[in-house]
Structure 1
Amino acid sequence: MTAVDTHCPYCALQCAMTLTETSSGVQVRGRDFPTNRGGLCQKGWTSSALLDVEDRLLTPLIRTAAGELEPASWDDALTLIANRIRALRAEYGPDAVAVFGGGGLTNEKAYLLGKLARLAIGTAMIDYNGRFCMSSAAAAGNQSFGIDRGLPFPVTDLDSAESILLIGSNIADTMPPLVQHLAAARRRGGLIVIDPRRSATAALCDDGQGLHLQPLPGTDIPLLLALLHVLIADDVLDDDFLQARVDGVAGALASANEWWPERAEQVTGVPAHSIRQAARTLWRASGHGGGQGAYVLTGRGAEQHANGTDTVQAAINLALALGLPGRRGNGYGALTGQGNGQGGREHGQKADQLPGYRSIADPAARAHIASVWGIDPADLPGAGLPAMQLLTSLGEPSGPKALLVHGSNVVVSAPNAEDVKRRLAGLDLLVVTDFVPSETAMLADVVLPIAQWAEEEGTMTNLEGRVIRRRRLRPPPGEARDELAVIADLAAALGHEFARTALDVFTELGAASSGGLADYAGIDYDRLDEPLPAHWPYAAGTPGTPRLFTSRFAHPNGRARMRPVHASDVRDDVRPGAPMYLITGRVLAHYQSGAQTRRIPELAAVSRGAFVQIHPLTAARLQITDGDDVQVASERGVVSAPARLSYDIRPEVVFMPFHFSGEGSVNRATNPDSDPISGMPEFKVCAVDVRRKEA
């Protein structure tokens, strides 16, 4: 029997597992690792079923003149793509071709995809679906600390915490093995969860184990400012820390002065006494307050707003006021979602970024990457458009005419999804690289079949900035190819020779990242199998950096920066004709757009389709009973799904999961308006009309 030690294909915990090829299929066994300690969620336990799904893509497909996708050879598919790219570049310029990547791609694929776009195609138009995931946390982290690493400490540091504040993160459903790291805080009654729903994570606060604050959607900033206001009023700020290590303190504190708890209660719906209790719990737990340690952690619920960067900044201001970042056993962190959501945003998929988390506008960064790639810096394109702007530019007279999609299912995952679908249909060329026929792949002119997680080699970077190995158990089926080889083949068809093995690309990535914020130059690929962790930055000649900020922050002066934050209204707010808020999120059995998990029978049996969670009082007013088909309409689109009555949601709010296509595809209704700093769309709240669907 063949067996390999590898990691789960899903979330950023990257839980360790061993895969064994047996006569009855691939066996999955949990493996001891700091993030999961041998445990797996139901997605992890069933992950091997992905390898043998019935509709696996096995051969390239080309759309015929009759409009059907038909099998084709690799030579024909690659030649068609290269010829169309050349023709579009010749007629419209290189920015007529765009590339859209994904946060699940290995570090090597993310790096090579950026190189394909900027070198082989010559386009500035590249971004990725991580713009929908971590961009607001990344922007706020860069503003505040000068660097963006989701957790700037190992996840095991949470084990000793006395209090943990979770803002907009339902980890009990999205990454269940992480819950064990909350145990100490729960035993001490110190888990604080901010969520408009009583989610599975909020329920962990029951029985004296913590406190659930349930604000109205879109009011996280007033709530966070009120928490800071309590600390100011109680005179318990870590003044020594702020004076020694933080700039911008006065302005940030002034922005919190106007949000006393009673005022915040009127806006958020969270009782003033609960706000005070939460703030004081966090302070008493902090090192400054004499406790065992406190953490502030943000997730997508805080970030996926048109003011998401400010929301995260407010959370960081709170953490800095308590002296948490950089103090052992305390801290601030953002919980990265996608499997390589951390590494995927470090090495060149982002519109404004070069490998090593370098700015594409920095002349020194451009010179360094140009030297690695053997070109003149002037030949590197400038910054492109962030994901939502890129997608809405498709089909416009000055927009891209072709799109290459890798590791993303934008027809389901992008906001205002019907408009995105229409724009994709109007392209001169749509190429989708995937291992299953996703909704986006089925719109393509060319579909390229690729290997998936247990059929490829490479590295991933988990939520704590640790670089790990992905190991190959078996070759891909049929004519499916390793995605690195596909990218290299396409580059060759365009006249460029790229490295094509994971080891060779990782070696080049190390050189390209050397000296950057996300420096991988000192990581030995072969030693990633050893127990010693490899946390970036890992410059040559260093042991890596498990914990950031212990002595200085990454800004040139070594200090963190607090920034004033002000509340703002929801962009698409409630009004006559749209009197309720729609919020979205994940369920335990599914992941992202569901393109993978909806194909696993055990997971599909647990969660077969979309639903509308609605408060019983609201349902009674609207004459909706449990199981009725409900129509949810925004100004962008209409979705429908069965009602699921629950007291776990506020009466003014309905919730839908975002994993499904068809009539229940909630992103038909969500708002594409984006944060002006991060480019993050406002997935998490919009105004809707809710009514029982007529037969």
Structure 2
Amino acid sequence: MSSPLTETEAGGRAFAAGQTQCPFCSVQCKIKLEDAPTPEGGAALRARGDDNAASEGRLCVKGQQAHQHAVSRERLRYPMIRREGRLVRASWAEAMEAAVKLFADSSERYGPDSVGVYGGGSLTNETAYLLGKFARLALGTKYIDYNGRFCMSAAASAGSKTFGLDRGLTFRLSDIPQASCIVLAGTNLAECQPTLMPYFNRARENGASIIVIDPRATSTAAASDLHLAVRPGTDAALAAGMLQVLLEEGLIDETFIDSRTRGFEELKQRTLGQMPLAQTAAFCGVDEESIRQAARLYGRAPTGMILTARGVEQQTDGHLAVREFLNLVLATGKIGREGCGYGAITGQGNGQGGREHGQKADQLPGYRSITNTADRAYIASVWGVEPERIPGAGVSAYEMMERIHRKEIRTLLVMGSNPVVSNPNIVLVEESLAKLDGLIVADLFLSETALLADIVLPVTSYLENEGTLTNLEGRVLLREAVRPAVGEARHDWMILCEAAQRLGHADGFRFRSAEEIFDELRLASRGGLADYYGITYERLRQEEGVYWPCGEQGGGGGLMFEQDFAHEDGRAVFSSPPQTVSDTKAVSPAYPLILTNGRVLSHYLTGVQTHRSPVLEAREAAAFLEMHPFAAGRIGVREGEWVRIESEAGTFYARSRLTSKIREDTVFAPMHWGGAQNVNRATLPHLDPHCKMPGFKTTPVRVTSCAAAPEEAVRLGRSLVRSPQGRATRE
């Protein structure tokens, strides 16, 4: 492996080239940054894929341009404080003193739970761990959650209930070509994780059947053998229908069921007594024969995999929908051996590691439960405090916004997230943040959320901040720094350490490097479900990634559940809830279309980083609404014109994009824009009762044509993010 840093002498030590990894999706492709000459005789950075076990050296367009936002002139280079309604430059001493005063005043006047912490799934493992420790020890608050709640919570809770443990993939990426049948439910890999597509292409070359379940005929669906264009929100019923076929035709593995699972008889009775398959097909909007074909292909295959993503999970019954697909995995015994398993396609760069070590409301490091007495005692021993010092469980990310709205939370720290764009029911979120006594935001740019802040703290980018991240297959990777910090920007973990010290908690926050934090994380995770104890920076440098769980004896194998599942009895658990129809899927004459949202290839999350890349921004500069030409014709919408999209929650604007590759009853909008182009202005605040996932995929809406480009859409779609420093005011 090459040295992570290449030194050049140009007025001091400058890091211009070296190995890093993409900050975007969960594949975490390795990148080689190189100095490339420009036509003008200067030098610029150029990125190319570097060999690694996950993407095998491939790099998508986002990874190729990722460095552009890191070197953008719009990077925050110094702290800012709001004075007389304007964000103005401040010193670090002023900013930290003001932030700590907000924390302390709020806690003294209203109690420690009046302070909230909101994290992100792109933070390193070290920062995610430290953020949880900071919230619970330095602030003493139970209110901490993160934007991964909107990404992985349904799959995580379903995996935990079914297997006793949540990990994105239960198999290795290298196992995919050995699968004889692969079901891709609610995932558009070709745009969201394009560097993984060659694995699936190899499987097809080996004779595998690919089944795609998606209301849109995506690029991924184009590469499939069978596409089920399911009505949004009906995935649970579809999976239950497939199980019905498996039972009717005897395509189950009774030996596996008897020896390695429990709960099958209850599920069998429910399935045999459920609605006829023809009725299920009508409800799902697909033909009965396609459901039978999908079930037969998967059931008869000697090996097989099922992978889900946000299309299945971002529903108010997302937890149960995933469990219905897991029933298929268990019923056929397709797990714990090569070419088999279940996978949840993680969205964010550290969506896996970010949910393992303490920034979730109900969780402690190592995937320990905050409500479990033994877990609390162990973490307390690592932190050197009594278990009573650790607060209890808080609430989910959106529920925190509701508590802010009720003024139960008075001060909020946001680190590595943009909740004013990513939450459902944005109108309430904006009202909530405006009610805060203090909003502190740590970010790379003046995001939509940072523009509302009282204090803005500049943080280092992925090129500057060393740390570990865990990719979708549970492989822990070390990302080294290849550039110095920009301006006065500081590492996010350093900000937390200084804030904790100013709050009088220096003893637990005297870290001098990310590696020192990781060493404590290792100890905190020791013996937990997500055990990192056997992983070290030295080992990561030598092996270029190690799978968890990896305990004292080493471990680190990528194939899960070969012998036992993680429940105490070693068995997996079937789910057999009554078949239900969620009310959030209901359309009406007032709101006749179903709005679903998602990602596009050129952008990432709320676009805070990718909108600063000239190349990526040029590919997709504004939000769009994808709709079927027949649906558009009925309401008089023409290609490329501005449309207004309304739900019971609110309104957003986008340009129409007509295509026959979507269901007539469905419209699709990407999630990467803020302001009046923010799709989540229309997303309803209904939450999954099991995991608190909002129903991003199933909002009933109406669409109307705009005679002219709405000024508010053009102005608020991008320009707020582009505002000069100090010009924004809280509305």
TM-score, with structure 1 as normaliser:
0.97
The code of the aligned residue for 1:540 comes to E
Q: Which residue in the other structure is 2:271 paired with? A: 256
How far apart are the structure 2 equivalents of 1:296 and 1:277? 15
Q: CA deviation at 1:71?
A: 0.4
Q: Which residue in the other structure is 1:382 paired with? A: 392
The answer on whether the counterparts of 1:122 and 1:380 sit within 8 Å (CA) in structure 2 is yes
The answer on whether the counterparts of 1:4 and 1:471 sit within 8 Å (CA) in structure 2 is no
Partner-residue secondary structure (3-state), 1:149: coil
The answer on 1:133 being equivalent to 2:151 is yes
How far apart are the structure 1 equivalents of 2:35 and 2:377? 47
Candidates 575, 582, 594, aligned match of 1:581? 594
How far apart are the structure 1 equivalents of 2:558 and 2:180? 21
Q: Which moved more, 1:515-524 or 1:494-503?
A: 494-503
How far apart are the structure 2 equivalents of 1:567 and 1:253? 17
Partner-residue secondary structure (3-state), 2:441: strand
Q: Which residue in the other structure is 2:715 paired with? A: none
1:572/1:220 CA distance change after superposition, 3 Å: closer
Q: Which residue in the other structure is 2:720 paired with? A: none
Candidates 16, 19, 25, aligned match of 1:11? 25
Q: Which residue in the other structure is 1:282 paired with? A: 298
Q: CA deviation at 1:532?
A: 6.0
Q: What do residues 15-69 of structure 1 show as CA deviations (whole Å, max 9, x unaligned)? A: 11122356613221211112211111100001111211121100000000x2000
The answer on whether the counterparts of 1:265 and 1:271 sit within 8 Å (CA) in structure 2 is yes
How far apart are the structure 1 equivalents of 2:261 and 2:95? 55
Q: Which residue in the other structure is 2:228 paired with? A: 213
Q: What do residues 247-269 of structure 1 show as CA deviations (whole Å, max 9, x unaligned)? A: 00012223322244312221111
The answer on whether the counterparts of 2:474 and 2:547 sit within 8 Å (CA) in structure 1 is yes
Q: What do residues 87-134 of structure 1 show as CA deviations (whole Å, max 9, x unaligned)? A: 111111000000000000000000000010000000000000000000
1:568/1:500 CA distance change after superposition, 3 Å: farther
Partner-residue secondary structure (3-state), 1:674: coil
The code of the aligned residue for 1:113 comes to L
Q: Which residue in the other structure is 1:484 paired with? A: 493
How far apart are the structure 2 equivalents of 1:615 and 1:327? 42
The answer on whether the counterparts of 1:357 and 1:517 sit within 8 Å (CA) in structure 2 is yes
Q: Which residue in the other structure is 1:43 paired with? A: 62
The answer on whether the counterparts of 2:630 and 2:664 sit within 8 Å (CA) in structure 1 is yes
Q: Which residue in the other structure is 2:246 paired with? A: 231
How far apart are the structure 1 equivalents of 2:286 and 2:271? 17
Partner-residue secondary structure (3-state), 1:202: helix
The answer on 1:153 being equivalent to 2:134 is no
How far apart are the structure 2 equivalents of 1:368 and 1:199? 47
Q: CA deviation at 1:643?
A: 0.9
1:664-679 to structure 2, matched below 5 A, reads: 664-679=677-692
The code of the aligned residue for 2:697 comes to K
Q: Which residue in the other structure is 2:162 paired with? A: 144
How far apart are the structure 2 equivalents of 1:131 and 1:282? 30
Q: Which residue in the other structure is 2:337 paired with? A: 327
The code of the aligned residue for 2:453 comes to A
1:112-123 to structure 2, matched below 5 A, reads: 112-123=130-141
Q: Which moved more, 1:552-561 or 1:671-680?
A: 671-680
Q: Which residue in the other structure is 2:725 paired with? A: none
1:254/1:500 CA distance change after superposition, 3 Å: farther
How far apart are the structure 1 equivalents of 2:648 and 2:270? 33
The answer on whether the counterparts of 2:171 and 2:342 sit within 8 Å (CA) in structure 1 is no
Q: CA deviation at 1:189?
A: 5.5
Q: Which moved more, 1:450-459 or 1:327-336?
A: 327-336
Q: CA deviation at 1:393?
A: 1.1
Candidates 482, 500, 506, aligned match of 2:518? 506
1:61-100 to structure 2, matched below 5 A, reads: 61-64=80-83, 66-100=84-118
The code of the aligned residue for 2:148 comes to G
The answer on whether the counterparts of 2:316 and 2:582 sit within 8 Å (CA) in structure 1 is no
The answer on whether the counterparts of 1:579 and 1:688 sit within 8 Å (CA) in structure 2 is yes
The answer on whether the counterparts of 2:418 and 2:449 sit within 8 Å (CA) in structure 1 is yes
How far apart are the structure 1 equivalents of 2:292 and 2:630? 29
Q: Which residue in the other structure is 1:20 paired with? A: 34
TM-score, with structure 2 as normaliser:
0.92
Q: What do residues 480-504 of structure 1 show as CA deviations (whole Å, max 9, x unaligned)? A: 0111111111111111121241110
Candidates 294, 313, 316, aligned match of 1:303? 313
Q: Which residue in the other structure is 1:606 paired with? A: 619
How far apart are the structure 2 equivalents of 1:570 and 1:461? 36
Q: CA deviation at 1:462?
A: 0.4
1:187-206 to structure 2, matched below 5 A, reads: 187=205, 188=207, 190-205=209-224
Structure 1 runs of 4+ with >3 Å offset: 20-23
Q: CA deviation at 1:687?
A: 0.6
Q: What do residues 279-321 of structure 1 show as CA deviations (whole Å, max 9, x unaligned)? A: 1111222x3xxxxx21001101100011010000000001111
The code of the aligned residue for 2:124 comes to T
Q: CA deviation at 1:542?
A: 2.1
The answer on 1:391 being equivalent to 2:401 is yes
Q: Which residue in the other structure is 1:474 paired with? A: 483
Q: Which residue in the other structure is 1:444 paired with? A: 453
Candidates 99, 122, 137, aligned match of 1:104? 122
Please list every run of 5 or more consecutive structure 2 residues that lacks an aligned counterpart in the other structure: 1-5, 8-16, 37-41, 709-731
The code of the aligned residue for 1:312 comes to V
1:260/1:179 CA distance change after superposition, 3 Å: farther
How far apart are the structure 2 equivalents of 1:532 and 1:407? 26
Q: Which residue in the other structure is 2:542 paired with? A: 530
Q: CA deviation at 1:640?
A: 1.2
The code of the aligned residue for 2:672 comes to H
How far apart are the structure 1 equivalents of 2:536 and 2:613? 36
The answer on 1:29 being equivalent to 2:48 is yes
Q: Which residue in the other structure is 1:550 paired with? A: 562
How far apart are the structure 2 equivalents of 1:370 and 1:529? 30
Q: Which moved more, 1:506-515 or 1:384-393?
A: 384-393
Q: Which residue in the other structure is 2:721 paired with? A: none
How far apart are the structure 1 equivalents of 2:503 and 2:331? 53
The code of the aligned residue for 2:410 comes to K
Q: Which residue in the other structure is 1:495 paired with? A: 504
How far apart are the structure 2 equivalents of 1:418 and 1:155? 41
The answer on 1:562 being equivalent to 2:600 is no
How far apart are the structure 1 equivalents of 2:213 and 2:694? 20
1:578/1:268 CA distance change after superposition, 3 Å: same
The code of the aligned residue for 2:500 comes to A
Identity, % of aligned positions:
46
How far apart are the structure 1 equivalents of 2:202 and 2:242? 23
The answer on whether the counterparts of 2:477 and 2:544 sit within 8 Å (CA) in structure 1 is no
1:305-384 to structure 2, matched below 5 A, reads: 305-384=315-394
How far apart are the structure 1 equivalents of 2:641 and 2:20? 44
RMSD: 1.2
How far apart are the structure 1 equivalents of 2:405 and 2:659? 42
Candidates 629, 641, 648, aligned match of 1:635? 648
Q: Which residue in the other structure is 1:458 paired with? A: 467
The code of the aligned residue for 1:76 comes to E
Q: CA deviation at 1:4?
A: 2.6
Task: Work out the number of aligned pairs and report it.
Answer: 683
How far apart are the structure 2 equivalents of 1:649 and 1:8? 31
Please list every run of 5 or more consecutive structure 1 residues that lacks an aligned counterpart in the other structure: 288-292
The answer on whether the counterparts of 2:233 and 2:585 sit within 8 Å (CA) in structure 1 is no
Partner-residue secondary structure (3-state), 2:551: coil
Q: Which moved more, 1:54-63 or 1:525-534?
A: 525-534
The answer on whether the counterparts of 1:632 and 1:639 sit within 8 Å (CA) in structure 2 is yes
The code of the aligned residue for 2:586 comes to D
